[in-house]
Structure formats: structure tokens, C-alpha cells
Amino acid sequence: MAERRTDHTTRKRVAEMSSEEMRHALLVSEKADLPNKRAFDESERSPFVAMADVDGLKMLNDHFGYSAGDILIKRFAETLTSVGLDAYHDKGDEFLCRGQTYRELNKKLNAAYQILSREPFAVVGMDGRIATIEGADFCFGIGTSIKEAERSLKHQKELRKTINGHWQVGR
């Protein structure tokens, strides 16, 4: 990425942005169209936080290309909000959610898991062919802080290492 001070195109675009456009650019993840980590940090605290991570994104990217991974990230973001989660895109395939209770977050994240794992979606492979992915998995951890949620997520990932077949390409 070019340095903003010497990248005149970027500098001109930033100078022409309204304050609302600037705020959107600073606080919204372009890839997931959700508030980003900065927005999470600046928002009101909640008693519980969840960290979620999409399973198999690297394998999907390697097999079908980054555009397929981007589709999955966007799909995951839409699924989180569809079940009523206060969701934020952290980075890559990591998402954060806020909730008032452990039970609320757990219930909504499990609902999101059911949706994402059961609904197929189409991607275009690097060879230009359309493939159907038979659903996707994700892990999540819940805690009273990001660090606690991260530890819980790590534990959940270790428990799932034995599960096979995260990605099944439909014919």
C-alpha cells in the first residue's frame, strides 16, 4: 500500500470525503460490512463478549481463491446479524460479538452455527467454474473480556480438531 502522504490519488480521495464518509471508512469493515474492531473498542461495554472464527477459510482460499473466502466472510457477517447479534469484524476470519448474558450469546451463536453449517452457497473457483459449498463451520468462545473469549475459542478449536469434512464441494 502506498504511503498516504505521497499517494496523491488516495490523498485527494480522503480530502474529498465528508465527515460521515470518513467516519464510515474508519469504523466499518469493508470486507464484512460490519462495524470493525475500532468501533468495538469505542462502543459501550457489555458484560459478555464472544470471539468467533470461521473454520477452513485458508483451505477455501487455497482451493477456490480469495474471492470465495470474501464471500464466506460476508456470509458469516450476515448470518451473525440475522440472529440478532451485536457483531463486529475484527480481522481476517475473526469476529467479535457483545451480549448482556452468556446464555444470550451462546443461544444466538448456536443459531448462527445452524444456519451457516446447513445453507449451501456458490463460489467461483480460480478456474472460473462455479462450485457449491455445502455449508461452513465456525468456532466461538465466550467470556467477560476479549482475552477470556479468546481462551475459550482456543479451547473450542482444540476440541474440534478431530472433526472432518469442513468443506464439501457439491456436484
Reduced to 3 DSSP states, what percent helix, strand and coil does the chain have, rounded to the nearest 5? 45, 25, 30
Of the options 3.40.50.200, 3.30.70.270, 3.40.50.620, 3.10.620.30, the CATH number for the domain spanning 31-170: 3.30.70.270
Segment 13-56, tens digit of pLDDT:
555 656 666 665 678 888 888 999 999 999 999 999 999 999 98
State residue 90's pLDDT score.
Answer: 94
State residue 161's pLDDT score.
Answer: 67
State residue 72's pLDDT score.
Answer: 94
Q: State how far the Cα of 77 lies from the Cα of 18, in Å rounded to an integer.
A: 26
Query: Which residues does the chain have with pLDDT short of 70?
Result: 1-8, 10-25, 161-171
Residue type, 87: A
Enter the pTM of the model. 0.79
Q: State how far the Cα of 104 lies from the Cα of 37, in Å rounded to an integer.
A: 21
State residue 168's pLDDT score.
Answer: 39
